[in-house]
Amino acid sequence: MKLNIHHFYTWFSGAPLHILAILVVAICLQIIGGRAITRAMNRIANADFVPGPQRTAARQRERAQTTGTILRSTLNGLIWLVALSMVLSEFGLNLGPVVASAGVIGVALGLGAQTIVRDILAGIFMLIEDQYGVGDLVEVLDVKGIVESVGLRITTVRSEDGTLWYLRNGEILKIGNKSQSKR
C-alpha cells in the first residue's frame, strides 16, 4: 500500500501537477483579466468625456461594451494559446517545428485573409472614431438608410425600401451621417 502511494505521488508530482498548475493559472488570469477589462470599460462608459448636451451616453456605453468584448476575447485567446503550448510541452512535444510551421501558415493566411483583416481594422477605427451607430440615418456607397447593427467586420443598413444591406467595413470609404449633430 505504501509503495503504491509513493508511486502515485512520484507520478503526480511530475507532468500532471505541472499541467494542473498551468490550467489553474490560466483560469485565474482569465478571471482577473476579464474583471480588469470590465472595470476599465465601465469607467470609460460612465466617464464624461464630452460634457454638455452633445454627450451621447448610450452610444459611449455601447462603444465601451464592444471594445470590452474585443479585449476580453483577445485576452482569452492569448491566455489559452500560451497555456495550450505549455501543456503540449509538458507532454514532451517539441514546439520548435510547430512554431515554425505556424509562422509559415500565418503568412499564408495573412496573405489570403487581407480583406478580413482590413474589414476588422476598419471596424475598430470606426468604433473608436464614433463615425456612426445603431439608429443613425446614413448614406454610404449607394445605400441610404438606418443603421441596424454595427460589427467589427460588417455593418447592416436598412434602406428606405426595406432592403437590408450588409456592408463590409473595409469597403466603406466614404459615409454621410445625417443623425450626428453639428459639433
> Alpha-carbon torsion 98, 103, 109, 115, what sign?
positive
Domain holding 171, by residue range, is: 102-183
Are 44 and 84 members of one domain? Answer: yes
Helical segments of the chain, H only: 2-12, 15-46, 57-90, 95-112, 114-129
Are 73 and 123 members of one domain? Answer: no
Are 23 and 77 members of one domain? Answer: yes
Are 121 and 147 members of one domain? Answer: yes
The tens place of each residue's pLDDT in the chain, 183 residues long, gives 556 777 777 777 777 888 889 999 999 999 999 999 999 988 888 876 655 555 567 777 777 787 888 889 889 999 999 999 889 888 888 888 877 887 888 887 777 788 888 888 888 888 777 788 888 899 998 899 999 988 888 999 999 999 999 999 989 988 888 887 654
Neighbours of 25 (CB within 10 A): 14
Neighbours of 104 (CB within 10 A): 9
Contacts with 127 (C-beta within 8 Å, 6 or more apart), sequence order: 63, 66, 67, 150, 152
Are 74 and 156 members of one domain? Answer: no
Are 21 and 86 members of one domain? Answer: yes
- What is the pLDDT at residue 182? 58
Are 13 and 50 members of one domain? Answer: yes
CA 11 to chain centroid, in Å, comes to 39
Are 130 and 166 members of one domain? Answer: yes
> Distance (Å, rounded) from C-alpha 7 to C-alpha 93?
24
Are 11 and 89 members of one domain? Answer: yes
Are 108 and 39 members of one domain? Answer: no
Domain count for the chain, please give it.
2
Are 61 and 106 members of one domain? Answer: no
